[in-house]
Amino acid sequence: METKLIEISNWIDNGFSENSAFSDIHLFRNKKPLGLYVLGSTLSSAESAARQGLPYVFADFFHPVITEKAIKIYRKEFKKPKFRGDDARQEITLCFRIICAETDEQVRRLLAPVHLMYRQILESNFINLLYPEDAIALLGSIPTVKTNNSLKNGFPQILAGTPGQIISLIQKKLKRDRKGGRDYVSGFNHRS
């Protein structure tokens, strides 16, 4: 993976060495170079992003149990790359699943396909995501929201609720993280 990241970085920055077969090929652009991010959900992707000095986007919704460890690896292994210049800095973005609707009832209905998907994955028979009504029929009931906001290693698997509830959950998480000395979540923006 790292070899590919280096090659992509060289294409973006026109940074191939003179010995490279690609050194005479240059990308021309009118604006600032494209941003390159590593999207990952494993510890090795965190390490690769860090070694190349690239921003890292971690899919917390896939592996919430290893999120903190991935962030620690990224922070520890980070090296400033030549191609990004002096403005290169550690940059981590966490992606997690949010299910939001105007009412609790709507939220619970939207949770049904996700609950069924997880159950099917655990049983090794996931085929596709269903419409809420079909998922509810297979589950036998509408899921509750409370069970989905439980934390695993300090990270929610699914944040589910109304807009006000979601904002509150994220703000509580930010407050808890800062109080605990964690600084990997730098802010939260939302539109009402």
The residue from 46, 69, 95 where one domain ends is: 95
More confident residue, 151 or 166: 166
Domain co-membership, 90 together with 102: no
Domain shared by 107 and 121, yes or no: yes
> Mind listing the pLDDT tens digit for each residue in 55-69?
899 988 777 778 889
- Which residue in 149, 150, 146, 127 sits closest to 138, CA to CA? 127
Residues 58 and 124 in one domain: no
More confident residue, 33 or 95: 95
Statement to judge: residues 86 and 115 lie in one domain: no
93, β-bridge pairs: 57
Place of tokens 């965190």: 46
Residue 192 within a domain: no
Same-domain status, 130 and 73: no
Q: What is the pTM of this model?
A: 0.62
Is 49 in the same domain as 74? yes
Are residue 79 and residue 22 in the same domain, yes or no?
A: yes
Do 164 and 101 sit in the same domain of this protein? yes
| CB contact set of 170 (below 8 Å; sequence gap of 6+) | 159, 188, 190
Structural domain ending residue among the three candidates 43, 60, 95? 95
Residues 25/39, Cβ–Cβ less than 8 Å: no
Report which of 37, 103, 47 is spatially closest to residue 72, judged by C-alpha positions.
47
* Beta strands per DSSP E along 107-157: 151-152, 155-156
Q: Do residue 45 and residue 103 come from a single domain?
A: no
pLDDT in tens, 101-150: 999 999 999 999 988 888 888 888 888 889 999 999 999 999 887 644 44
54: containing domain: 2-95
Does the pLDDT of residue 89 top 70, yes or no?
yes
Task: Look at 94 and 134; give whichever has higher pLDDT.
Answer: 134
Last residue of a domain, one of 95, 113, 131: 95
Q: pLDDT band at residue 46, thresholds of 50, 70 and 90?
A: very high
Provide the b/e sequence for 81-117 (b: ≥16 CB within 10 Å): bebbeeebebbbebebbebbbeeeeebbbbbbbbbbb
* Terminal-to-terminal C-alpha distance of the chain: 40
Judge if 12 and 54 occupy the same domain.
yes
Q: Both 74 and 84 in a single domain?
A: yes
**At 24, is the pLDDT very low, low, confident or very high (cuts 50, 70, 90)?**
confident
Quick one: pLDDT at residue 100? Answer: 92
Residue 30: the pLDDT is 61
Tell me the one-letter amino acid at 142: I
Per-residue DSSP letter, 21: T
Please provide the average confidence, as pLDDT, over all residues in the chain: 78
Helix axes 43-52, 67-77, angle to 10 degrees: 20
For the chain, how many residues are written? 192
